[in-house]
Amino acid sequence: MLSSATSLLRLALGLLTVLLVSACASGPSSSAPSGSGVFGAPAPNATPRDPNAATPVPVPSSPSATPLATEQRFLEDWFRGTPVVIAAQPPMTLQLDVPLANSFDAGKTEIKPALNAVLDRVAQSLLRQSAARVHVNAPADAGGNGGLAQSRAQRVREALGSKGIAATRVAVTEAAPRVGGPVQLRMTIPANGAQPIARSKGDVNPTKKASPVKAAGWTEKKD
């Protein structure tokens, strides 16, 4: 029996020796220590991410200019520094007010050069925007009659017709006429019925040429 016990002890010692040799041969573990920054572990000085923080949303690019804004900018470029008042009333209305003194002589219906210069540019806007319409409201002189106001508005319609605008696109005020005040050109420009801007041969860049109103003898508006 002593011989058997000795044999078992030698066998156990041999197995233990084999295990120790194998452990030494394999060396230390190759796993990266915690905090090394490798494989997604945070670097020692990194700020921990707030799990409740919202995901950043990219800022959308500015939308394309609407037809109304495009024509407003076009007309303002031409008539900056003159008494023409241009006011947008979104989403579809753009109104131009032209002083009566620069539009008609007292008691007359003939269109003066300054108003004609305005109508040239209004016609260009209407030709670019195929769905646009314009409403004309011309005033009477102080103490004048309604017939004079109607005749003046009709002259404006005819002038626009000579510039390529169909009479069906030009409305004239039928209500009681205003006395004094500016000639009002109220354009309606739908956002979904526009044609691309296309310059004609005679449509020069307003940044390279003075306003046609100045050429017509209009005095610049003083601030």
Torsion of CA 92, 97, 103, 108, to 10 degrees: 90
Distance CA 107, CA 208 (A): 37
Q: HSE on the CB side for 216, CA within 13 Å?
A: 20
Distance CA 204, CA 154 (A): 29
Q: What is the pLDDT of residue 19?
A: 62
Tell if the pTM clears 0.75, that is, is over it: no
Length of the chain: 223
| pLDDT (mean) for 177-196 | 83
Banded model confidence at residue 110, pLDDT cuts 50, 70, 90? very high
The reply to whether 106 falls in a domain is: yes
- Count of domains in the chain? 1
Q: Are 136 and 156 in contact (CB under 8 A)?
A: yes
The answer to whether residue 49 scores a pLDDT higher than 80 is no
Task: List helix spans (H) across 63-208.
Answer: 67-79, 113-128, 146-162
The reply to whether 164 falls in a domain is: yes
The reply to whether 141 falls in a domain is: yes
The CATH number assigned to the domain holding 179 equals 3.30.1330.60
The reply to whether 58 falls in a domain is: no
- Angle between helix axes 146-162 and 113-128 (nearest 10 degrees) is 60
The reply to whether 79 falls in a domain is: yes
Q: What is the pLDDT of residue 143?
A: 76
Whole-number average pLDDT of the chain? 75
The reply to whether 207 falls in a domain is: no
The answer to whether residue 189 scores a pLDDT higher than 70 is yes
Domain range for residue 113? 67-195
Higher pLDDT pick, 144 / 196: 144
